Amino acid sequence: MINFLILPILIPLITGVLLIFAAKRILLQRWIAGLSSVITIIFSALLVQKVRNDGIQTLDVSSWEAPFGITLVSDMMSALLVLTTSIVAFACLIYSFWSIGEAREKFYYYPAFNFLIVGVNGAFTTGDIFNLFVFFEVMLMASYVLLVLGGKKAQLRESIKYILVNVISSALFVIAVAYLYSVVGTLNMAHISVRISEISQEVQPGIITVIAVLFLIIFGLKGAIFPLYFWMPGSYYAPPAPVLALFGALLTKVGVYSITRTYTLFFYHDIGFTHQLLSILAIMSIIAGVIGAIAYWDVKKIIIYNIIVAVGAILFGISAMTPDSLSGSIFYLIHDMIIKAALFLLAGIVIAIAGTSDLHKISGLIKRYPGLGWTFFIAALALAGIPPLSGFIGKLLIVKGGFEAEQYWGAGIVLMSSLLVLFSIMKIFINGFWGTPRAYKTEDKVPVRKMMIAPVILVFIAVLYGVGSEYVYPYISQAAETLANPNIYIEAVLKEY
Amino acid sequence: MEILMAFVIGILFMSATYLMLSKSLLRIIVGTGLLSHGAHMLILTMGGLKRGAAPLLGEHASSYTDPIPQALILTAIVISFGVTAFFLVLAYRAYQELGTDNMDRMRGTEGND
C-alpha cells in the first residue's frame, strides 16, 4: 500500500500506452478505457479515505529522501481533486462513446484522453516544482491533440492561438523556476517553503515577491484570470462537447490549484502585496466573466465565461487566507469542476439536437426532452448556488471569509455575481427550453437517452455533494487546515524538520 | 560572466517578443524557438556559472558544476522539441486548410454576434 498515491497517475498512463496498440478496435478501446476509469475512481476514493485516516501521504520516488528526489505528496486537497478529476473523466469518457464519432476514436482519441488525465492527476499530486512543470506539459500536450483532433478549420485556427499562449506561459514557467532555483537552491516544494521562510524572517525580500507575481502570471495564464483570460473564449469554443467539458472542468482548475499551492505554501510571509494583488485580479475576473456571460447569446460562450467567474470566486477565497474562505474555496473548486462538466455535456446535447449553439434559433426543448430540461435546470440552480444544492456552501464560506478579512467590496461582488450568473444561465433555460417547440433537421440521429447518462450522473453527484455537505465538510476542513498551516505539509514531506 | 549572459538572454527574449508580435505564423514559431533558447540559457545561468569539472565522477575533480540545471534543461529541451514539432505540423496543416499564414486573416466569427 506504500505506492498507493501513484496509482491515479499510473493507471491512466498504462491505459493510454495500451490503447495506442488497439487504435483501430473501437469497442475494445471503449471497454479498456471505461474499466480503467472505474478502477481509477475506486483507488482515488480509497486514497481520500487513507489521507483522512492517516494524514498526508508522501512517496519518495525511488526511495531518494525528500529534498533530493522527486516526492509525490497527497494531502487532502490534492486527494479530493484527484477523486473529482477521476469522476469527471469517467463521465466525459462515457459521454464520448456516443458523441465523439468513429473517425476521432480511430485516431487515438482515448490515448490522448488518458494522457490528459495523467497530466492533471500528476499536477495535483506532485511535490516538486519542476515535476509540476513536466506534468503541466503532459497535460497541455494531450490537450493540444484533443483540441485539434478532427482538423476542422475553426479547430486549426484556435489551436494555433492556444498553443502559442501555452508555449509562452511554459517558457515563463521555466524562467520562474530558474529564478526560484537561484534564490533558494532547491526544487522540492516543502523545502522551497522552508528556505523562503528562512530568508524572510523579518521582511520578505523583494525578489521573492517578484517571483510570486511571476508565478501568478504563469498560473493565471493557465487558469484564465482577469487580464490573461483572452485566449480562452475562442480556444474553448472550438473542440467538441466532451473535450470541452474536460477542458472546462480540469485544465483551468489545475492553474487555480497551482496558484493555491504556491500562495499558501511558498509566498505567505508578506501577504500585504501579493495576496492583495491576487484579490484584485480575482474580483476583476469575476466582473469580466459576468460581463461576458450576460453579453452572449450563445450556449457555449455563456458557460465558458462562467468558468472565468468561478475561477475569480475561488481565487478571491484563497486571497482572503482565513480558514473559512480557504475551505469555501476548496468546496467551490470541487463543486465547480463537477457542475461545469455537467453543464458542458448538457450544452453538448442541446447543440447536438438543435444543430446550432445560437440561442435565437433554439426553443421549446422541454416539451420533447423533459429529462434534459429538468437536469439542466437543476444544474443551473446548482451553478448559481441555490441553498440545497452544491454551489451554496462554498460561496457562503467564501463570502463569510471575505467579510472576516474585511474585504467588503470583494465579498459583495462575489454575492452580486451569483445573481448575474443565475441570469446568464437562466437565459439559456428560458430561451432554449421554454417557448414553442421547433423541428430540427438532425435531431433524430442524436441518441439523447444514452448521452444523458453522463450528465445525469454528474448532476446527481452535485446534488449529493450539496445535500450531504455535512459529511463532506470534515474532509474539506482537513484540506483547508493544511493550506492554512504549511508546517503540516512540510513536516509530512521533510521528516526531520 | 553571468552579467554578459543576462544581457544575451535579454536580447533573446527581446527578439522573441518582437517576432511573436508579428503577423506571419512562421516568424511567430521562430520567436517561440528563440524564447525557449533564452529560457534554457537562463536556467544554466541561474544555476551559477562556476568553474568546475563536467559532472562526471570519472573526472576525479575537486569541484564539479551543478548537475541539476543541466538535467532540467535537458528535460525542457525535449519538451520544447515536441511542442515545436507539433506546432510546425499544425502550422503546415493550417496553411493547407486555411490558405494563409497571416494571423490577421485567421479570425473566427462564429459565436461573436
pLDDT value at position A1? 46
Question: How many other CB atoms sit within 10 Å of the CB of residue B33?
Answer: 18
Chain B residues closer than 8 Å to A155 by CB:
none
> Which of A479, A472, A478, A497 is CA-nearest to residue A487?
A497
Phi, psi of B66 (to 5 degrees): -65, 120
pLDDT value at position A497? 56
For residue A453, the distance in angstroms to the closest alpha carbon of chain B comes to 28
The predicted model gives A465-476 an average pLDDT of: 91
- Cell 463569510 sits on residue: A400
Three-class DSSP category at B77: helix
For residue A109, the distance in angstroms to the closest alpha carbon of chain B comes to 16
The predicted model gives A400-424 an average pLDDT of: 92
For chain B, the 3-state helix, strand and coil shares in percent, each to the nearest 5, are: 70, 5, 25
A449 and chain B in contact, CB less than 8 A: no
Number of residue pairs across A and B with CB atoms under 8 Å?
A: 104
- Condensed to tens digits (0 to 9), the pLDDT of residues A297-311 reads 999 999 999 999 999
Chain A residues closer than 8 Å to B97 by CB:
151, 153, 156
pLDDT band for position B109 (cuts 50, 70, 90): low
Q: Are A418 and A336 in contact (CB under 8 A)?
A: no
Three-point CA angle A289, A291, A292, nearest 5°: 65
Q: From the CA atom positions of chain A, what is the Rg in Å?
A: 21
Measured torsion, CA atoms of residues A418, A420, A426, A427, in degrees rounded to the nearest 10? -160
Q: Which of A59-63, A70-74, A139-143 has the lowest mean pLDDT?
A: A59-63
Which residues are bridge partners to B64 per DSSP? B53
Angle between helices A153-184 and B67-98 (to 10 degrees): 170
Please answer yes or no on whether A156 and B93 come within 8 Å at the CB atom: yes
Q: Is residue A2 predicted with pLDDT exceeding 90?
A: no
- Interface predicted TM-score (ipTM): 0.94
If you measure CA to CA, which chain B residue comes closest to A145? B86
> Which of A289, A278, A296, A324 is CA-nearest to residue A483?
A324
Q: Which of A199-208, A255-264, A309-318 has the lowest mean pLDDT?
A: A199-208
Chain B residues in contact with chain A using a Cβ-Cβ cutoff of 8 Å? 20, 25, 28, 32, 35-36, 38-40, 42-43, 45-48, 68-69, 72, 75-76, 79-80, 82-83, 86-87, 90-91, 93-94, 97-98, 106, 108, 110-111
- Condensed to tens digits (0 to 9), the pLDDT of residues A312-337 reads 999 999 998 888 899 999 999 999 99
Phi, psi of A298 (to 5 degrees): -140, 125
A153: nearest CB among B83, B90, B97: B97
Q: Report the amino acid identity of residue A408.
A: Y
Q: From the CA atom positions of chain B, what is the Rg in Å?
A: 19
A64 and chain B in contact, CB less than 8 A: no
> Which of A123, A83, A420, A453 is CA-nearest to residue A257?
A123
B90: nearest CB among A141, A163, A174: A163
Which element (helix H / strand E) includes A453? helix A448-467
Three-class DSSP category at A151: coil
Nine-digit cell at A1? 500500500
pLDDT value at position A496? 65
CA–CA distance, A318 with A341 (Å, rounded to integer): 23
A427 and chain B in contact, CB less than 8 A: no
> Which of A324, A336, A221, A326 is CA-nearest to residue A275?
A326
Q: Which residues contact A431 (CB under 8 A, 6 or more apart)?
A: A297, A359, A360, A362, A363
A174: nearest CB among B43, B68, B110: B43
Q: Are B94 and A160 in contact (CB under 8 A)?
A: yes
Q: Is residue A212 predicted with pLDDT exceeding 90?
A: yes
Report the predicted TM-score, pTM, of the whole model to 2 decimal places. 0.94
**Residue A250 DSSP code:** I
Instruction: Indicate if the alpha-carbon torsion angle A284, A288, A294, A298 is positive or negative.
Output: negative
For residue A44, the distance in angstroms to the closest alpha carbon of chain B comes to 28
Question: What mean pLDDT value characterizes chain A?
Answer: 92
CA–CA distance, A68 with A48 (Å, rounded to integer): 27
Nine-digit cell at B38? 533564452
CA–CA distance, A70 with A129 (Å, rounded to integer): 9
For residue B24, the distance in angstroms to the closest alpha carbon of chain A comes to 12
Q: Are A454 and A345 in contact (CB under 8 A)?
A: yes
Q: Are A290 and A420 in contact (CB under 8 A)?
A: yes
Q: Are A4 and A50 in contact (CB under 8 A)?
A: yes
A137: nearest CB among B42, B45, B79: B79
> Which of A351, A333, A126, A144 is CA-nearest to residue A243?
A144
> Which of A423, A170, A160 is CA-nearest to residue B102?
A160
